[in-house]
Structure 1
């Protein structure tokens, strides 16, 4: 009867023709069943808790030689050691307790009180007796908040070992191993009797155990024994033979059930040959579990001339949930409740990747900095030491941090340190509106008005198409612009005599159009900025450092470690890993949804732009003046065009009149020549009575004559 067998003894037995067979240990079937169950659940490690050291040793011999699961053996499971188990890193993915029903009550109660029983499907209770139905969490009033798996021996196994019918009522205090041992001795005696009756030699043999030249003895006796053993156990319902290990064991049938606040539900059955056979539903692995680190703190400082404050809340990434009285809310386990961008992100990851998690906040609530001894504290230190599995926080990627931890692709932009200005308390002023524009802008406006007035007068004086210079085009009375009237028109669009007439020449009108474009743009700019500017005060001097900024007592500022924090303050506070699932969430625009949730864009209008505290400079209005100068240039070009066109037209008119006079003289000369050639005489003048106004009648009588026509 051994737990593992003795290879040296087996070899000696084979050399000397001695029958070598092993008997089974007490917990071996349970260990095999648990190992097969955990392999089916894709487990990588398990914490084993035993009732006594004897069962622990039996199990280790099997598991070390046959299992590939990482083992965490807990040999002293008491209230004093629970805290050590809870602090174990990495924590076991599954737990298994091997004990009788009486001891199981105590051990599982210790696990419950120690806060180890929190997740579904990770606890496996193996009952080594037949009294598991008296377990307090099945038959008592104790309630479970998670599901557990129970493994127990099928009752017909006990009945067969007792030699009773398979449907008997197995006594709860029966010892399976002792019954198995008795039946095993009887089986061996029966086989040896049959062997002797068949004439096979069963005489004792002698020899030297460590003889190097021992000849191979005859194995006829051993072979005959094996043949009879296989034949006898072929239809046996109590024993089975494990030929690879030379083991005679009882036919173990283990039932797997799940329990959660109710009677056990059948899950599967197990035997050595068929392994685990699922019954009604498929066995699924327990959800993966991660300890996710986060921090409610970020690198934020508020400075003023009177105080320096540190913010301890990483808004909106990770913030504690507060009740109506402002106290941090707790969950059922007494842990702080958190909310925010990172918390929602973790929850979404857990849903997408199907895992459970605990939020772990470092004791110092820091992101982490490198200490003098080369170690790290805060979130970075917890992750580097294995206290946490993942960190989800408003953590900036740096090369120094990448030396000890790995970063996934950023799920939010990283753009360094930013400064956010808080809206200060402003001093009222009767002439505040005058500071909307810089002094140079006001001077430029006055210059533009002066230049426009002069140019209106010049264009009206020299344009050939103005009312002053073209009476034929404007025969009705029109205003002639003097220099004084030109200035008034540029200032008010009316002349001092009350006339509202605009200049008539195209060049003047071009200049007026450009001038009014300038006026409209200036008025629009001034009006749009006046309302906001009346509530904003310019800084008294340029800021070269944060300390200079702090010294201006009414100016507060915030240094933010990353742009996400900056955007939150600007939009919400009125200026106050290895997980590829992240890439899928980016593709599904999940982070845009989170951003719209925590960065309310509708409130952004309440924040001031970065240049709201500055008057409008000449540079910012340079385009308006350029447009005006362009109109002035266009007016001058138009004036030149008018003068050129006017002069050209006058020249053409004179040439036409001169040409017309020449044509009349030429016609008269031709008629005279023609008349001389035709020898025409004037027609006789008829007699008219002399009247006061005699009719003016004249005609030429042409008589045809025969003569050749010549030019």
Structure 2
């Protein structure tokens, strides 16, 4: 209308200028050629008369300045309302803008006031879903979801009514071979619907045939795949930080170090020492603390970082101990560093980690929803990787395209299949199914918008309303309402959690087995001692008697053995006897030579004491030997004792009696 008015006024201005020119001179038509440099002789005069024209036209006052530009004019600002067009202000070329009334706010617009709009949508979690009791409801009450709540918010702002109707063919919309569109886009083109409110992606191809509002959600294409978890933590998961091969080599290393330590300690002369040297240079027997049992116990104490009462004396044994301690330091540190991760984290094994890995293999099938924007993205992409993926999907038989997101997720869970879908949908389903995961990042960036027919008069109102919802954080609140609440933990939640018995229960099993083994060995040792000791009662009675004494804190059976079974309680040992027992124990570093029954008293004369020690050597005590300076007693020989009940040995001295004792 404004263009026609301007054209009408322009014709009147030209006519007025020609009339004024014709009054001063005769104006005639002269044939001219575009190739000729000759101009119309009255052209300059006509331009001057045009600048002098001044009249009132349909568009207001008409006047031109010296440059031929219109000046001193007014533009009226009109508003379309239910009563028709009404002026709300004006704009003067010299004075500027002048408003007669304020612009109405968005929630008071009259464009959509009391208007009923037809909304086309598609069932897609969590955007539009049917209520569980939708059979009992009617109209819009049958539906729920993010888009349904957003429609309620928009209707409250713009004061309109709406009627939700599902799309007939159940697709979003793709162009056909004859130029027609399917799905919600097709219904907007054919004016069967006023709005399309769903997870409808804004694309350039759709923008050519329909209009979109500002995006109400930003997203991208992602890859959904099923979770491949390794072995879940079990009772013996504390063994997981090391592989079975490492545990085996650690056992072999322990055995090798124990054997080498025993061999080196026997070879070096500096590990043989006198535990109770004679005063004034008098010599006695030499012992070696690295017996076979001690050689196997010393590495255990170092490995468990508890130490041992055995201290290496020679440089060779210290070298073996040093390298073993360094070995255990690295092993224990590595084990401790990895133990927490293996007890608290279930490792996920994923054969693909990015879209490039997916494109470079053929063992895992992948596809998209048929007729969706993701399918169009790969179809029109010029990126080499995405072109290769489209060729694979398009030529794969049976088809890798699915009809709905639910079908794609079911195919992911039940087969070796990766599903390409929007990141918001991926996040929603991953929150509700812990067997799903996202591979890599986003392939692109795009948004969801409200679709409407081309040239819709409601576009500006919906743009302003969506911006208002974003500024008020209403859209973020709605997203949290429909996305959160799944039973799966968030991927970014790394808070420490308590360990249960399923994580460390195996160490309790090891502890109980060790205690039971110790009790069994103690019983076997007790039975072995009873076999070598004369007794009047059975083994079971002896064991019960010993257990009764333990519970009542009585003296041990070994202390009563010398008085006979059932005899009176022996008197306490004298100070001299205790010294004799202490000397006997110290000679073998806590273990007296088995079966000798000999004890060495410190207060005994030296010849008798050395003779007793020589008897210990003769009876097989491999960790006791006579020092080289005492070889003058090599002539000592054993003579049977007249009393067979006494465990003693008498010796004949064959050396020179004149030698000092």
User: What interval of TM-score do these two structures reach, taking the shorter chain for normalisation?
Assistant: 0.3 to 0.5
TM-score, normalised by the number of residues in structure 2 = 0.34
TM-score, normalised by the number of residues in structure 1 = 0.32
Structure with larger Rg: 1
